[in-house]
Amino acid sequence: MVDIKPEYKPEGLEGAGYFATTLSKAVGLARANSLWPLPFATSCCGIEFMATMASHYDLARFGSERLSFSPRQADLLMVMGTISKKLGPVLRQVYEQMAEPKWVLSMGACASTGGIFDTYSVLQGIDRIMPVDVYIPGCPPRPEQVLEGILKIQELAKNEDIRRRHSPEYKAMLANYGLE
């Protein structure tokens, strides 16, 4: 019989035939390894995301191969590429449509800060309209960086308290962005 060693195991009490941990940890573990990303790919970074999805880098290894094109079922909003002021409201609507818990990953310099496009038409970073969990620098980032970004999101998902999204701090943070 093969001795299976899980790569990651939350803290908890362990004994013959049982393992006890907090509910948050158990839920987090499940959430982290089945993130459904919503790719909001606008420009160059989207092509690198395609490379990440394709066979060479294979995002499926991290449980995120099931792209959810409907915001309603997505857990992770991946914003890739320049977001112009014209597109800002669309992106925000997509974010509002997503159900909690939701995470946002901002891929590339343009989505994070506006990048080299410091012009009248470009939104200087999506964190002006929505909270962002992980930023990936680069123009565009390499697929390895994208994978690491997803791993960071998984880390957040694993360690998140299930009550966080109901806390007053979280609500206050959303209110900062004018979200409910």
Partner 1 sequence: MPIPFDASNLLSPAQIRQAEWDALGYNTINLGPTHPATHGIFQNILQMDGEIIRHAEPTIGYIHRAFEKLAEHRPYNQIAPITDRLNYCSSPINNMGWHMTVEKLIGCQVPKRADYMRVIIMELSRIADHIICTTIIGQDTGATTGFLYFFQMREKIYEIFEGLCGARLTTNIGRIGGMEREFTQDVWKKLETFMTEFPVALAEFRDLVERNRIFMDRTINCGPISADRALAYGFTGPNLRAAGIDYDVRVAQPYSSYEDFDFAIPVGANGDTYDRFMVRIEEMVESFSIIQQAMSKMPEGPIHADVPAFYLPEKQEVYSKMEALIYHFKIVMGEMDVPKGEVYHAVEGGNGELGFYLISDGGRTPYRLHFRRPCFIFYQAYPEMITGTMLSDAILTLSSLNVIAGELDA
Partner 2 sequence: MELAIHNIIGEKLQTLLGDQYEGKHLEYDFMVYHIHKSKIAEALELLKTDADLNFHFLTTLCASHFPENKGAEFVMMYQLHNMYQNVRIRIKTQLPENELSLPSITQLWPSANWMERQEYDFFGINFEGHPDLRRILNMDEMNYFPLRKEYRMEDAGRDDKDDKFFGR
Which two structure tokens, joined as six digits, stand for 165?
A: 């999204």
Which two structure tokens, joined as six digits, stand for 53?
A: 């999805």
Per-residue mark of binding to partner 2, 124-153 (x: CB under 8 A): x-----------------------------
Among 9, 85, 163, 164, binds partner 2 (CB under 8 A): 85
CA distances from 57 to 25, 36, 132, 148 (A): 29, 17, 24, 12
Binding positions for partner 1, rule: CB under 8 A: 40-44, 46-48, 50-51, 54-56, 67, 69, 81-84, 86-87, 90, 94, 116-122, 139-140, 142
d(CA 111, CA 84): 9
Which two structure tokens, joined as six digits, stand for 25?
A: 């940890």
> Using the rule CB under 8 A, is 163 a contact of partner 2?
no
| In the complex, minimum distance from the CB of residue 81 to partner 2, in angstroms, rounded to a whole number | 16
HSE, side-chain direction, 13 A CA sphere, residue 160: 24
| In the complex, minimum distance from the CB of residue 140 to partner 2, in angstroms, rounded to a whole number | 22
Q: Which residues bind partner 2 (CB under 8 A)?
A: 85-86, 118-121, 124
